[in-house]
Amino acid sequence: MKKVRIYGTLGPACSAPEVLKQMLSEGLDGMRLNLSHTALEEAADLLEAFRSAADACGVHPELLIDLQGPELRIGTLKKPVLLHAGDEIQADLLPFPEPVLRALSDAPIGQEILLDDGKLLLIKENADRLRVARGGVAESKKSVALPGYPIHSPAMTEADRRHIRLAKAYGVTGVMQPFVRGKADLFEVRSALNEADAQCIRLFAKIENTDGIAHLSELLPYCDEIVIARGDLGNAVPLWELPAAQKRIASVCREAGRDFMIVTQMLDSMTHRPVPTRAEVSDVFNAVLDGASSVMLTGETASGEYPAAAVRYLVKTVREAEVYSI
Most confident of 121-130, 214-223, 234-243: 214-223
Task: Tell me the average pLDDT across 250-257.
Answer: 98
Mean per-residue pLDDT of the chain = 94
pLDDT at 70 over 80: no
| pLDDT value of position 151 | 78
206 a catalytic residue: yes
pLDDT class of 13 with cuts at 50, 70, 90: very high
pTM of the model: 0.85
Interhelix angle for 158-166 vs 183-195, to 10°?
A: 50
Most confident of 134-143, 234-243, 279-288: 279-288
| pLDDT value of position 152 | 76
| pLDDT value of position 102 | 85
Q: Which of 5, 124, 183, 206 is catalytic?
A: 206
pLDDT class of 83 with cuts at 50, 70, 90: very high
Residue 128 has what DSSP assignment? Answer: S
Task: Tell me the average pLDDT across 226-243.
Answer: 94
Lateral strand order in the sheet of 88-90: 88-90, 129-134, 120-124, 112-115, 144-145
Which domains does the chain show, CATH number per domain? Answer: 5-71+153-325 (3.20.20.60), 81-145 (2.40.33.10)
pLDDT at 73 over 80: yes
Distance CA 224, CA 300 (A): 25
Express each pLDDT in 279-309 by its tens digit. 999 999 999 999 999 999 999 999 999 999 9
Which backbone phi and psi does 86 adopt, to 5 degrees? 95, -20
Task: Tell me the average pLDDT across 53-82.
Answer: 92
pLDDT at 149 over 90: no
Burial environment of residue 279 by CB neighbours within 10 A (0 to 12, 13 to 18, 19 or more): exposed
Q: Which of 5, 21, 264, 301 is catalytic?
A: 264
Q: Which of 12-21, 141-150, 155-164, 308-317 is predicted least confidently?
A: 141-150
264 a catalytic residue: yes
Express each pLDDT in 187-216 by its tens digit. 999 999 999 999 999 999 999 999 999 999
CB 286 within 8 A of CB 319: no
Distance CA 267, CA 29 (A): 17
pLDDT at 184 over 80: yes
CB half-sphere exposure, 104, CA atoms < 13 A: 25
pLDDT at 71 over 90: no
Do strands 202-207 and 174-177 pair parallel, antiparallel, or not at all (unpaired)?
parallel
Counting residues of the chain whose pLDDT is more than 90, the rounded percentage is: 82
Whole-angstrom CA distances from 258 to 167, 219, 225, 250, 287 are: 24, 10, 6, 9, 15
Q: Which of 5, 21, 73, 181 is catalytic?
A: 73
pLDDT at 105 over 90: no
Closest Cα to residue 222, out of 265, 169, 175, 255?
175
Distance CA 115, CA 147 (A): 11
113 bridge partner residues? 122
| pLDDT value of position 245 | 98
230 a catalytic residue: no
CB 321 within 8 A of CB 1: no
Distance CA 199, CA 40 (A): 19
73 a catalytic residue: yes
3-state class of 325 per DSSP? helix
